[in-house]
Amino acid sequence: MSKTSFYITTAISYVNGSPHLGHAYEGILTDAMARFKRLDGYDVRFLTGTDEHGEKVAKTAEENGMSAQEFADKNADEFREMTALLGLSNDDFIRTTEPRHYTAAQAIWTKLQDKGLIALGKYEGWYSVREEGYFTEDELTEGENGEKLTPNGTPVKWVEEESYFFKLSDYTEKLLDYYEAHPDFIQPASRRNEIISFVKQGLKDLSVSRHKDRLHWGVPVPGDENHVMYVWLDALTNYITAIGYPDEDSADFKKFWPADYHVIGKDITRFHCVYWPAFLMAADLPLPKAIFAHGFINVQGQKMSKSIGNVLSPTGMVEMYGLDQIRYLLLREISHGNDGNFSHDSAVERMNADLANGIGNLAQRTLSMIYKNCDGQIPEPPTSSEEDQKFLNGFYKEMPEAVRDKFTRFRIDEALKVIINFVGEADSYVDAMAPWALKKEDPERMKTVLYVLAEAIRCIAIAIQFATPSAAAKLLDQLKIPEDQRLFEHMSADYALKPGTAIDKPEGVFPRLEFSDEEQKAAG
C-alpha cells in the first residue's frame, strides 16, 4: 500500500543575523510533527531554509561592509548548521538565492501578470523594513519618541516609488468565503479571528516590486530590469519551488502540493493567511491545508532583543542542557499557539522531573534489575495477570491513540503530557509490584513484572522519538529493537519483546542536570 503523503514547512529565516532560540523553537516544533507523521506511517517531506532578499538583508549587509550575497552566504551557513545541531529531520533546505527558486518566483510572477493581475502603478505609503511589510495609516501607533510603529512595534518609513501592484482587492470576498468553508485553515482559532477581522476591512492592491534605484537585492521582475520582486512574493513561493514548481506535473509537486502545514510565528500570519492564499488562487493553484501560527519565546519574561542582551543562541543551549533535553523542554513548556517563557531554573526543574527522574529513572531501574537478576536477558513472562494485561493495553492502545489525537490538533505539549502520565503509571506499577521484594518471595512473578515493565518502556521509547530522538534510540538499542520495528504500529503485543534476548548493560539516557552557582549565573 502506498503511504499517504504529508508536506510540512517552517518559515524561511531572514539571513540578516544569526539563528536564535525563536528560530530553533520553530524548527523543533515542525520537526516533531514531521517525525511523528513518519512514525505514524506517512511519506513526509519537511522543508526549511533561508529568506535572503529584501531591504532588511541588503541594509544589514551594507552595515557589515559586505556584499549582500557574501553576507547571505555566511548567515545561511549558520542556519543550515543549526538544523544539524538541532537534529532536524528536514529533507531539503532551500535558499531563495538558488537558481531553482529564481525560476519558480519568476514563473509565478509571469502567470499572475499574464492573467492581468499585476500592473504598473505608483506606491505611496508606510513600509516597515524590519517586517518587510506595508501598513495603512490607521494601523500605526505612536512610539515613545513620536515615531510611527506597526502593530508588532517596528518602525515604518514613508515610501514613494513606481511599483507593480497585485490585484489583492479582488480577493477580499474570495478569501472570506475560503476561511468560512475551511475552519481549520488558520490555527489556532485566535489567529483566525484576527485575520478575518483584517480582511473584512477590505483589501487594497499590494505593491509587489521595488525599483532598482532603491533596492537591487531581489529576484528581477521578468521583462523589466528596473524592478525586483517584493521579498514576500519571492519568499512565499519557496514552498512550491522546493517541490518542483513551475513543473506542476512533476512527481513531487503532484505528491506534496497542497502542503499539509505551513508552520510560522504569529508575527507573519498576514503574509501567510492573506497574501499567500491570494497569490495561489491567482496562480490557479490549490491552497495549503493549514497554517499553524505558534507563539513567541521570551527569555526571563522579556522579549529577546539585542539591546537587552538576552538573545539565546541554539548552540549555547544545546551545549548547556543537551540536545534532547532542550528539544523536550521547548516542546513541553510552550503550549499550543501561545507565547512561552524560558528561564534557566524552571527549565532545569522540568528536564530533571520528566526526563532524568521520569523516563530515565524508570528505564535505568528496570533494565538494571533485568540485567542483574535475569542473566542480562529479557525474561520469560511465565504468567501474566489480568492486571498486567490491562496495564499493558494502556501502552498499546490508549497512549498511541491519545498521542495521535493531540498531534491531529497540533497540541504537541499535550502529547508529551500524555506520555509522561504513562511514565507515571509505570512508576506506580513498579511501586505496587515491588519487584525487588519479589526477588526472594516469588522470582517467577518478578520476571513477569520486569517483562511487563520492559514492554512499557519499549512503547514509551517508541512514542517519544519525535521529541528526544537520540535518547529514545539509545533505549530501543539497549532493548535490541530492530530499526524497522520502531513505528507507532509496532506498539502492540504482536511486536512484544522476545524473551531470551540479551540486552546491553543499561546506561542512563537522561543524566540529572546540576549546575554550579557560576554556571547558573551565566545562564541568567
Place of cell 520469560: 380
47 counts as binding ligand MSP under rule CB under 6 A: no
Integer Cα distance of 347 and 353 in angstroms? 10
Size of the site for ligand MSP (CB under 6 A): 19
297 counts as binding ligand MSP under rule CB under 6 A: yes
Q: Considering Cα of 392, then 397, then 402, then 408, what sign does the dihedral take? A: positive
Stretch that binds ligand MSP, among 20-28, 418-426, 504-512, 516-524 (CB under 6 A): 20-28
Integer Cα distance of 29 and 10 in angstroms? 9
304 counts as binding ligand MSP under rule CB under 6 A: yes
Q: In whole angstroms, what separates CA 461 from the centre of its chain?
A: 21
Q: What is the DSSP string of 348-369?
A: HHHIIIIIIIIIIHHHHHHHHH
234 counts as binding ligand MSP under rule CB under 6 A: no
In angstroms, give the least distance from the CB of 78 to ligand MSP. 12
Residue closer to ligand MSP, measured from CB, 27 or 381: 27
Task: For strands 297-299 and 302-303, give the pairing.
Answer: antiparallel
In angstroms, give the least distance from the CB of 10 to ligand MSP. 7
333 counts as binding ligand MSP under rule CB under 6 A: no
Integer Cα distance of 417 and 94 in angstroms? 34
In angstroms, give the least distance from the CB of 154 to ligand MSP. 11
Residue closer to ligand MSP, measured from CB, 33 or 297: 297
264 counts as binding ligand MSP under rule CB under 6 A: yes
What is the rounded end-to-end Cα distance, in angstroms, of the chain? 52
Site for ligand MSP in 49-68 (CB under 6 A): 51
275 counts as binding ligand MSP under rule CB under 6 A: no
Which residue of 6, 14, 126, 164 would you call a contact of ligand MSP, by CB under 6 A? 14
3-state secondary structure 449-487: HHHHHHHHHHHHHHHHHHCCHHHHHHHHHHCCCCHHHCC
Would you state the cell numbers that stand for residue 266, as one nine-digit string?
504569529
On whether the CB atoms of residues 272 and 294 are closer than 8 A, the answer is no
Looking at beta carbons, which residue is closest to ligand MSP? 265
In angstroms, give the least distance from the CB of 13 to ligand MSP. 4
Stretch that binds ligand MSP, among 60-68, 145-153, 262-270, 356-364 (CB under 6 A): 262-270
Site for ligand MSP in 335-364 (CB under 6 A): none
267 counts as binding ligand MSP under rule CB under 6 A: yes
Which residue of 6, 22, 362, 474 would you call a contact of ligand MSP, by CB under 6 A? 22
On whether the CB atoms of residues 208 and 166 are closer than 8 A, the answer is yes
Place of cell 509565478: 108
| Phi-psi group of 478: left, alpha or beta (phi > 0 → left; psi -120 to 50 → alpha; rest → beta) | alpha
Site for ligand MSP in 463-492 (CB under 6 A): none
In angstroms, give the least distance from the CB of 504 to ligand MSP. 39
Q: Which residues bind ligand MSP (CB under 6 A)?
A: 11-14, 22-23, 25-26, 51, 235-236, 238, 264-265, 267-268, 296-297, 304
